A and B are shown apart, each in its own frame.
Chain A
């Protein structure tokens, strides 16, 4: 399921050698384009793991359900904290749901 990059928000992780989304994508699918904006080189090959969406520091990446599988338009927006994650989910009728949980505990 294809990630979509908001070209206004994406800054190509300026100082990084590779933007974070490009670093983490398990399928080697995210690339920095010539305009220094990230994009997914092959939408059909995405596994929808959302690693890129979660790691993007400026919230420029959205994972979209392909229309053949799900209707227009639902959103799932992660916000990463240091030891927790918050998700906002909006369904196609505009109903909003929030989730928050700890994803790390203090190491022993």
Chain B
């Protein structure tokens, strides 16, 4: 117990902030939302609630080496939607959302360039494409640049305030609550509209390096993005879409760094232990190197399962200059990978880079899992909007698309703000949440309970083994999911034993609580989709084929009266014409 820890609830200061628009999560989408809201409505009060510090928070904290989507001259937003749809095996995707994002995309990337982000350009001044849609950047400063603009916009930034629950007025969202990770205060944000842009959920599953000391967080997705943005909505009965479409990616082995840098940027082939080009040899019928993203992502693990591992991205064709360029790309996005190569004394022009799968993530900016939203990005909870990784329906948003969606959500929220009034504060709701938030901290040093880390590790191993984690080659079945759900329920009943020794620990306690809610919803989604539509991302060993009847969105909603998650479907609507499986 830290000496500054409060002894009782009365010692904890409650800070009430009144604003017009609250943005939860000051990452990529959140910064863009704040800037856009202040641009379209300069008099609007905008507050950003950020668990870390916006200058280096969230998924882009380490930097970025590419903007994965920027529509080149001669191509249209419809072309981008076609490509995106083909990457997820023809969908279903929300084409209305995807199209509006695509129409906004280049403008958002141009904003970044005008703010000082170095985009690598050819002699003609045009961005240099490293693949069909992605452009190279030197994005080491990507996050600080966005953050500076968000601060300049006049939005009030509340750094180190972690959100724990939404503030509700009946079924309507009228703000959020949380606590100061540094100052220990309880925060109540009252707002006419709320945008949730917290990032996705990492750490629901065990990463394969997590049993090694000092590398519990050797994950590709930012491990501090724990799914809180989803869970605060799930608890209020918000409809979630496509959670079962998990993001599983090919990543560098033992480091979990990005691989597009190598495979797209330097046209390196995936090869197996026998030197065979895996995609051409085993996936030619699905398009070889141009196979949908989940096929390419899953290929290395399938090689290992078939006894043909290790697997590599073949960099032995690179010249020393190209190898240096490749490392420079990594220094912009994930610098520690260059350190990792040095720790193996590896010359990548002589030895290929080893690759492997990642632990599964729920990330709506990459796959399409997240809140079901309207075209204005409002969720099914009135007053609550979502953008970026939090908003579902649109896969392959990445940095540019999340930024674009931040702008769209801001416009939707600003219009909504004008139509509503702030109701009186519900003191009882605030008091109840304050008690819930600080409970783990107030249990005292003698309390015989469970640490957040113990509970997190139990949940991660459970999800890994029963809900299709990496050690199970992403496979699961009905019985395993039932087992996972049974134990998730037991874990949730044990939240009463969680204790926190300081404020950092208290944040960890709430992170595991949020992850449990998210994991439960995810397991229900995996259980409902009784087919295998996106192998790797979603593999049911008991239903190995596609079921044409499930060519629809799988949805979930917590019934607040029964406490049960209810599953249903929504139909797919094709808006952009063409063969759904072709780019």
Chain A residues with a Cβ under 8 A of chain B = 1-2, 18, 23-28, 41, 43-51, 54-55, 63, 65-66, 68-71, 73-76, 78, 85, 87, 89-93, 95, 97, 99, 101-108
CB distance from B234 to the nearest CB of A (A): 24
CB of B81 within 8 Å of the partner chain: no
Q: Are B224 and A47 in contact (CB under 8 A)?
A: yes
Q: Can you report 14 residue pairs joining A to B where beta carbons are below 8 Å apart?
A: A1-B218, A28-B507, A41-B504, A44-B214, A47-B219, A48-B336, A65-B339, A66-B215, A70-B344, A74-B343, A76-B338, A76-B339, A104-B118, A107-B116
Q: Are B61 and A26 in contact (CB under 8 A)?
A: yes
CB of B58 within 8 Å of the partner chain: yes
New contact pairs (12) apart from A26-B58, A92-B342, CB-CB < 8 Å? A1-B214, A2-B214, A18-B182, A23-B55, A26-B56, A49-B56, A68-B215, A70-B340, A73-B343, A87-B335, A93-B345, A108-B113
B contact residues around A107 at 8 Å (CB): 114-116
Pick from B61, B117, B219, B336: contact of A63, CB under 8 Å: B336
Q: Are B116 and A106 in contact (CB under 8 A)?
A: yes
The segment from B324-332, B413-421, B429-437, B530-538 found at the interface with A is: B324-332
Pick from A18, A26, A99: contact of B57, CB under 8 Å: A26
Report the Cα distance A101→B331, complex, angstroms: 10
Report the Cα distance A48→B330, complex, angstroms: 13
Chain B residues with a Cβ under 8 A of chain A = 51-53, 55-58, 61-62, 113-118, 138-141, 145, 160, 181-182, 209, 212-219, 222-224, 254-255, 324, 327-328, 331-332, 334-336, 338-345, 504, 507
Report the Cα distance A68→B207, complex, angstroms: 14
Report the Cα distance A35→B205, complex, angstroms: 37
Q: Are B116 and A89 in contact (CB under 8 A)?
A: no
A contact residues around B160 at 8 Å (CB): 28
Report the Cα distance A74→B340, complex, angstroms: 8
A contact residues around B504 at 8 Å (CB): 28, 41
Pick from A23, A91, A103: contact of B140, CB under 8 Å: A103
CB distance from B182 to the nearest CB of A (A): 8
Given the contacts A28-B160, A45-B223, A102 and B217 also touching, CB distance less than 8 Å? no
Given the contacts A47-B223, A66-B215, A28 and B114 also touching, CB distance less than 8 Å? no
Chain A at the B interface: SS class: loop
Given the contacts A1-B215, A50-B336, A105-B118, A24 and B53 also touching, CB distance less than 8 Å? yes
B contact residues around A95 at 8 Å (CB): 342, 345
Report the Cα distance A107→B118, complex, angstroms: 10
Q: Considering residues A78, A97, A104, which has the most beta carbons from chain B within 10 angstroms of its beta carbon?
A: A104
Report the Cα distance A80→B118, complex, angstroms: 16
Q: Are A65 and B212 in contact (CB under 8 A)?
A: no
Instruction: Report the number of A-B residue pairs with Cβ-Cβ less than 8 Å.
Output: 171
In chain A, what residue has the closest Cβ to B220? A47
Q: Are A76 and B209 in contact (CB under 8 A)?
A: no
Report the Cα distance A89→B340, complex, angstroms: 10
Pick from B53, B141, B334: contact of A104, CB under 8 Å: B141
CB distance from A78 to the nearest CB of B (A): 7
Report the Cα distance A102→B138, complex, angstroms: 7
CB distance from B6 to the nearest CB of A (A): 18
Q: Considering residues B116, B139, B336, B343, which has the most beta carbons from chain A within 10 angstroms of its beta carbon?
A: B343
CB distance from B36 to the nearest CB of A (A): 18
Report the Cα distance A76→B339, complex, angstroms: 6
B contact residues around A26 at 8 Å (CB): 52-53, 56-58, 61, 222, 224
Q: Are B57 and A50 in contact (CB under 8 A)?
A: no
Given the contacts A24-B55, A43-B214, A69-B254, A105 and B345 also touching, CB distance less than 8 Å? no
A contact residues around B113 at 8 Å (CB): 108
A contact residues around B209 at 8 Å (CB): 68-69
Pick from B51, B212, B219, B331: contact of A99, CB under 8 Å: B331
In chain B, what residue has the closest Cβ to A49? B62
B contact residues around A104 at 8 Å (CB): 116-118, 141, 145
Q: Are A68 and B58 in contact (CB under 8 A)?
A: no
In chain B, what residue has the closest Cβ to A98? B324
Q: Are B56 and A99 in contact (CB under 8 A)?
A: no
B contact residues around A92 at 8 Å (CB): 342-345
CB distance from A14 to the nearest CB of B (A): 19
CB distance from A27 to the nearest CB of B (A): 5
CB distance from B208 to the nearest CB of A (A): 11
A contact residues around B145 at 8 Å (CB): 104
Q: Considering residues B118, B145, B324, which has the most beta carbons from chain A within 10 angstroms of its beta carbon?
A: B118
Report the Cα distance A103→B219, complex, angstroms: 25
CB distance from A33 to the nearest CB of B (A): 13
Q: Are A91 and B342 in contact (CB under 8 A)?
A: yes
Q: Are A99 and B324 in contact (CB under 8 A)?
A: yes
Q: Are B345 and A91 in contact (CB under 8 A)?
A: yes
Report the Cα distance A108→B176, complex, angstroms: 36
Report the Cα distance A93→B341, complex, angstroms: 12
**10 closest A-B pairs (Cβ-Cβ)?**
A70-B343, A68-B212, A74-B342, A49-B62, A91-B342, A66-B214, A48-B336, A76-B339, A74-B343, A44-B216
Q: Are B212 and A66 in contact (CB under 8 A)?
A: yes
Report the Cα distance A91→B340, complex, angstroms: 9
CB distance from A71 to the nearest CB of B (A): 5
Q: Are A44 and B53 in contact (CB under 8 A)?
A: no
Pick from A24, A41, A54, A69: contact of B218, CB under 8 Å: A69
A contact residues around B340 at 8 Å (CB): 65, 69-70, 74
A contact residues around B117 at 8 Å (CB): 104-105
CB distance from A37 to the nearest CB of B (A): 18
B contact residues around A45 at 8 Å (CB): 216-217, 223
Q: Are B343 and A51 in contact (CB under 8 A)?
A: no
